[in-house]
Amino acid sequence: MSPKAATSSHNGTVTVGCRVCEAPLPPGRGSRLYCSEACRQAAWRRRHAAPLQPPKLAPKQPRRPVSVYICPDCEARYLGEQYCAACHVFCRAAGVGGYCPCCGDPVAYDELSQQ
């Protein structure tokens, strides 16, 4: 039996399912598409629903101002500065961090969790 014949409305032994919930339609009601008023309304709402919009994401924040950098030569620490003015070399990143509340030197959060 072909798929078209299985859903044919001319075949009295085969009932076509509701387009929303796929429940069998009541026999002898003509060419109905939905089993109830609730399914008819649900189908209308689906057809007329506003298109889904992608969620609004917060703008990316730059990480450089909150990153701690260490000079490979003199081991000086900088917060947000990638270049050591004393040694004239670029520093390596230690991670995200801030100023230590005790001594005031830049410290990375990863370094605090290792102790």
More confident residue, 61 or 113: 61
| pLDDT value for 86 | 92
If 0-12 CB within 10 Å is exposed, 13-18 middle and 19+ buried, where does residue 107 land?
Answer: buried
The tokens describing 64, both together, are 């450089």
Contacts of 34 (CB under 8 A, 6+ apart): 18, 19, 20, 25, 40, 43
Q: Is the pLDDT of residue 114 over 70?
A: no
CA dihedral 82, 88, 89, 92 (to 10 degrees): -40
Please give the angle made by the CA atoms of 82, 87 and 88, to the nearest 5 degrees.
Answer: 60
| pLDDT value for 69 | 95
* Per-domain residue ranges of the chain: 1-49, 64-114
Q: Is the pLDDT of residue 58 over 80?
A: no
CA-CA distance, 115 to 112, in Å (whole number)? Answer: 6
Which of 88, 96, 104 is closest to 65 using CA atoms? 96
Report pTM.
0.47
**Mean pLDDT value across residues 41-69:** 84
| pLDDT value for 22 | 87
Q: To which residue do tokens 């919009």 refer?
A: 53
Residues 1-44: tens digit of each pLDDT: 444 444 555 555 566 788 899 888 877 667 788 888 999 999 99
Backbone angles phi, psi at 90, to 5 degrees: -85, 145
Q: Is the pLDDT of residue 77 over 50?
A: yes
Least confident of 7-11, 85-89, 93-97: 7-11
